[in-house]
Structure 1
Amino acid sequence: MTNLEARHHEILKILINTTGPITTEKIGEALKVSSRTVRSDLQIIQEWLDGFDIKLVKKPRMGVYLKATAEQKIMLIDKLSELGEYYSEPFDSTEREKYIISRLLQTDKNLTSQQLADELFVSRMTIYKDLENVEKWLGKHQLALIKKPNYGLEIIGEEENWRKAFADFLAEHLEKDKLKNLVREPVAIPLDRRLDPDNYKQLAGMFPEIDVRKIERILLEAEKQLNSRFVEETYTALIVHLVISIQRLRDKKDIKMPGSQIQKLKETEEFKIASFITEELEKEFNIKIPESETGYISLHILGAKIQRSLPLKEKAIEEMLKDFDDDLIKIVYDIIHVTENTIDVKLSSDKVLVTGLALHLRPVINRIKNGMNLHNPILHQIKENYTAVYGIAWIAAGIIENRMGIKVGEEEVGYLAMHLGAAIDRATSPKRALVVCSSGIGTAQMLATRLKKLLPEIIIEDVVPAGVVDSMLKSKSVDLIISTIPLDLKDLPVILISPLVTGSDVIKIRNAIGNYNNIKIRHTLQNHEGGFVSDLIPQELIFYKKRYRKKEEIIEDIGNIMVEKGYVKHEFIKTALDREKITSTYIGKGVAIPHGEDRLVIKPAVSVITLSEPIDWWGEKVDLVFYLALHFNNSKYTKSFFKEFYDMMDNPELLKMIREAKNSSEISKILLMRGEI
């Protein structure tokens, strides 16, 4: 039998996936070879196909196609696999749905269900079932799927929503390498390491007529004018947005924007950069870009995360903070104070956290206000490995929502968790101290011994006289100076103490390093005002082994009970459902925390629900639900709950006990004995 080379495999894949004739010119464009080369390859392929009684049909002026049944195509796929070619068709329902979404988004022509059935080697009835979930996915992006007899399938909706849907789809699946079989892989590599090579290949394969490297060059030049660099996810998101925009403009689909909004955007520096990008794109791709598109690009830049190195010196950080709006800084400190109250770790003095949050939140607010999302590629890892911190980040999101009147999605909550988690790590990691003592060696060693005994969380690097401090700091990295004599150092905190190290000295040092309670979360479950469990998680809101088919049923059913018992207003349920339409409240480890708007809470409460069978929660399996009806801003009940909730999520044994409880009373007892576990 004739041997096939790698290019023959590629041509066969194209023919297997194509319904109807395809020209040799199109095949050549896909493989970067001439149509003459393709014609020669087709002769070799036909000789190979003769062994399977399959014919290549060539229609003049129309192209070539495989005359093969679905079973024969499946056989060919298996044969290619035997020959060492990695190839798999998306047969399971999840992969079929992704395939269908990809096809619908990529084509400007109507597809029929029969076409999709032929391409996926399944029946039309199977496609009809797959389309139910496809419609749900489109609905989340405010798009609809029209199905007309003898016409086909068509996505309809606002152009802005269409583009967001396509960008979200790419963000979800590019780095997961799930579209590999749908696209060719060009040889070129990206210009900048921020765009992953595999993502680049996928993107270039889905849009073969758009040179992604040209867009990269334009963005790299724009960064020079902006005097800043976009972080990796922003850089990739901008490229994806521009690729989609170019394709849609070529398809005569442009975006609309009110003139008043464009005028306001023109006052920003970002609009100037967007105008530069627009002009360069027009030259490189020979297209005319309307002003509304420039406005849309400027919105993306306004919402972009910028890569900046924070200044190390306290004075420089203070100067940077002066550039931020007072309201933004107030939100930052509110978030920090709530986090401090939840975990008993001092973070207010962490200027890296303050500045980092301020730099992060400014574009976040712009993104959310303008309906844009930024994909968080490690969201799942954050939820599963840092569940407690992610739960605290939801409180922070509540503060932003209350203050700004916007809804914060799980992707942004994940980024907040990263900032807070890093700060908590800094606060809880051992601090390195240089001890300065004016007395003799014996007194100095006694001082060091006493400090180690009273403050085991501090690493004593050395004990030195005042005269050698400057030279020591050049060779040792320390976080603070503990001294028995006054010192004037600009860049490090100096704590003046007695040579005897009194109790007040210990408090003074712990105040300085943000460690009030030895970084131990207090177990005070039974001692909160009013009784934590009896008031915040009353017995009447604990439900054992309930059976539900979907998350909406839980939110409605338990929500109605909370309304009936006087905990929330009826509108609370709708706001909780609306939130779940926008973003997931799954926080990891099989736990979800649905919640509505706190303005509709009459009496703060938390309902605990264990499920007899896990249910799907935005693609994750959930069997334990904490339905929150809390005031997220200042309520002492909220702080009390999350103080315990933080620790609970880091205690797999406790979660197991709740799940295995025999009834609601036992769950209540487990929560009551929480402080003793």
Structure 2
Amino acid sequence: MNVPVLPDSKKRKYYILVRLLNGEHLSYQHLADNYFVSRSSIANDIVFIKQLLAKDNVALVFDNSGTYIGGGEIDKQKVLKRLVMGLVRQDKTNPELLQLFISQTLLSTVKETFDQKIQAWSLEIPENYLWDIIVSASIVIYRGRQGYFIQQAANNQLGKLLFQLEKYPLVYELLESLEKKKVYHFSQDELRYLSYIILGNGFKFFMKDATIPIIFKRKVKLLIRNISDSLNLDLTQDSRLETDLLVHLYQMVLRLRSGTTVINPLLDEIKANYLELFGVIWYALSEFGSENQLVISDDEVAFVTLHFQAAIERLKNVKRILFVCPNGIGTSSLIAAKMRQILPEVSIIEIVARTDLAKKNLRNIDLIISTTPLTGMPVPVTNISPMLTPTDMKKIMNQYIDLTMSHVKTPIITDDNREQTLVLLKHHIYFDNVKDFNQALDLLIRANTWATDSAMQKYRHSIEQREKLQSTYLGNGFAIPHGDPHLVDHSCIAVLILDKPIKWGNNKVDVVSLLMVREEDKKIVESFMNLIMHGINNKDWFISKMMEVK
């Protein structure tokens, strides 16, 4: 590839990235001499590149030979996919940059070939999933033509873990269609890698007869239950959530086991619009990933967040109505039956005697309908006559419509949990400076009470193991390290706010929050995650809040 000698300042970082992706080791001085700019200009370019690589957990490494990209070809292709998809999405007017990383002619050829196959099979694959497959295949071909090949580890257990791919010929036939057009001849490693990507984007389309293992179904049920507990909502009865999440997470496992991920074009919007929920899902998937040895990206977290937000919206549409009646059960049942005829099926009507109303928990009740006047109720009350006249029916319907249109937001974090969280934080907030990860951990872990030094070291080891699998960096300089909750006797959260950022994986952090929380206290974690997510949006607000609690 011929790299122009003097690209402008906006393009230079991309030209440097191309050289790094092609395996060059580059020194700052060498680059400054190449492009006739200062070392500080090159340093700014490298900062941009490091931030870009960090999104896919890929490191920029330094040694005596210069700066280079760590990891193998799969890591580099993850970075390329994010770049290509971003450039196509945001900058169609500048083909020069895109041409640095992929052939647009090749992209068009792969798209046309795959589109023909998908249409011939009458498969309706969502556009974003199909585009992910197209870009991934195009990059494998483009890099392969340049002599950079995918190599998968011989001990990759994905096939044994999930299923035998040869039983599902549509996957291979899709890739074979490119070979028949003499676009490219795939190696066995490339076929296997792309097969996992295809299945990871379209499992239910390409493998309609396949079954998902029972053990995986149990894990998904547990995940839904844990998130339900954290949200103070019961989503365990939502069969659609379970079905959709089962397929999505199974596809996610396929993607992650093969060393790739999907790019979520709505990531920033999802974070902005569903801030609290994103934090809850991030923590739950962090646990899920740790238990299953998976590195789960923010892109994946955002997709799962949408599944749960859809379930929450469905739950909001279920209106719980309490019918209070002093008459006999027969009369009450008759009136309730009439109400069910005029109210939507998503309504749940419960009958309670007037004498039992005081003992009734009204927290989840949306509307009370009563044949006797009631005062001081925390929810709307509609009074009707004991005979339920047409006028009464109109009153009920009008109140129901008002209720439906009010769009009252379901609180994710309760005030009780927030107060408990602030109590846990008190006296455990530090404004200090440390040199690195280890010093930060040394300071924060001693904020808790440990039965023995050995118990503390075991928990510390579990934190380190989690960080090795996946960094707990969350964004905007925030890291949320945490270990095995079963190794904690007393729940505690400690926060360290630094004047100077320290290195944290492939990022830098200046706010480190160590979660030392027992399994039975995990609702408190979700409340703290709410504070963290707001802090990521507004760090000054978070620091001010911590100073108040301190």
- Matched with 1:301 is 198
* Counterparts of 1:306 and 1:512, CA distance in 2: 40
2:468 is equivalent to residue 578 of structure 1: yes
* 1:655-670 to 2 correspondences below 5 Å: 659-660=543-544, 666-668=548-550
For residues 199-598 of structure 1, what are the structure 2 equivalents within 5 Å? 203=98, 206-208=101-103, 210-224=105-119, 228-257=123-152, 267-268=164-165, 272-305=169-202, 324-429=212-317, 431=319, 469=341, 478-480=345-347, 482=349, 497=351, 503=357, 510=364, 519=410, 521-525=413-417, 536-537=424-425, 539=427, 541-543=428-430, 545-547=431-433, 552=437, 555-556=440-441, 558-559=443-444, 561=446, 567=456, 569=458, 570-575=460-465, 577-578=467-468, 581=471, 584-586=473-475, 592-598=479-485
Relative distance call for 1:211 and 1:396 in structure 2 (3 A) is same
Find the counterpart in structure 1 of residue 397 from structure 2. none
Q: Which residue of 1 aligns with 2:395?
A: none
Partner Cα distance (1:512, 1:249) in 2: 60
**Deviates most, 162-171 or 256-265:** 256-265
Asked whether the equivalents of residues 320 and 365 of structure 2 are also in contact (C-alpha less than 8 Å), the reply is no
CA contact (8 A) 2:58 2:70 kept: no
Contact 2:425-2:549 at 8 Å conserved across structures: no
Deviation at 1:362, TM superposition (A): 0.8
Tell me, in whole angstroms, the C-alpha distance in 2 between the residues paired with 1:270 and 1:548: 55
The counterpart of 1:100, out of the listed 3, 9, 16, is 16
Q: Quote how far apart the aligned CAs of 1:527 are.
A: 8.5
**Residue 657 to residue 374, structure 1, CA distance change in 2 (3 Å):** closer
Deviations 1:103-122 (A, max 9, x none): 543x6999998996577552
Q: 1:375 to 1:137 in 2, by over 3 A?
A: closer
Deviation at 1:329, TM superposition (A): 2.6
Residue in structure 2 matched with residue 18 of structure 1 by the alignment: 4
Displacement of 1:357 in angstroms is 1.3
Q: What does residue 526 of structure 2 align with? A: 642
* Structure 2 letter corresponding to 1:141: V
Cα contact 2:418–2:524 (8 A) shared by 1: no
Q: CA deviation at 1:429?
A: 4.9
**Aligned partners of 1:384 and 1:620: how far apart in 2?**
21
Query: Secondary structure at the residue paired with 2:296?
Result: coil
Deviations 1:522-563 (A, max 9, x none): 4325986xxx666x4462x321x334688x477445456459
SS of 2:181's partner is: helix
Tell me the distance in 2 between the aligned counterparts of 1:619 and 1:110.
18
TM-score (norm 2): 0.69
What is the aligned-residue RMSD (CA, Å)?
5.2
Gaps of 5+ in 1: 1-14, 20-69, 74-88, 185-201, 309-319, 449-462, 483-494, 669-677
Aligned equivalents of 2:297, 2:288: Cα separation in 1: 11
Which of residues 58, 66, 86 is equivalent to 1:141? 58
Structure 2: gaps spanning 5 or more residues: 368-377, 380-409
Tell me how far 1:324 sits from its aligned partner: 4.1
CA shift for structure 1 position 327: 2.2
Shift of 1:377: 2.1
- Aligned residue pairs, count: 491
Q: For residue 17 of structure 2, what is the amino acid of its counterpart?
A: I
The letter of the residue matching 1:627 is: L
Aligned mates of 1:230, 1:613 — CA distance in 2: 47
1:273 Cα offset (Å): 2.6
Deviations 1:293-320, CA, capped at 9 Å, x for gaps: 2111111122115688xxxxxxxxxxx9
User: Which residue identity is paired with 1:280?
Assistant: S
| TM-score normalised by length of structure 1 | 0.58
SS at match of 1:380: helix
Aligned to 1:609: 496
Alpha-carbon distance change, 230 to 611 in structure 1, aligned in 2, over 3 angstroms: farther
After superposition, the C-alpha distances for 1:461-506 in whole angstroms (9 at most, x for unaligned) are: xx9578xx4xx7xxx8652364xxxxxxxxxxxx6x3697964997
Shift of 1:268: 2.5
Structure 1 residues 324 and 157, CA gap change in structure 2 (3 angstroms): closer
Compared CA separation, residues 90 and 110, structure 1 to 2 (3 A): same
Q: Deviation at 1:576?
A: 5.3
Sequence identity, in percent?
A: 23
* Separation of aligned partners in 2, 1:613 and 1:113: 24
CA contact (8 A) 2:445 2:514 kept: no
Contact 2:58 2:71 in 1 (8 A): no
Q: Cα–Cα, structure 1 residues 116 and 615, in superposed 2: closer, same or farther, change >3 Å?
A: closer
Report the Cα distance in structure 2 between the residues aligned to 1:652 and 1:263, rounded to whole angstroms: 39
Q: Is the 8 A contact 1:143 1:161 kept in 2?
A: no
**Residue in 2 that maps onto 1:86:** none
**Cα distance change on mapping 1:636 and 1:366 into 2, 3 Å:** same
| Cα distance in structure 2, aligned partners of 1:655 and 1:110 | 36
1:361 deviates by 0.8
d(CA) in 2 for partners of 1:647, 1:156 = 34
Tell me if structure 1 keeps the 8 A contact 2:293–2:469. no
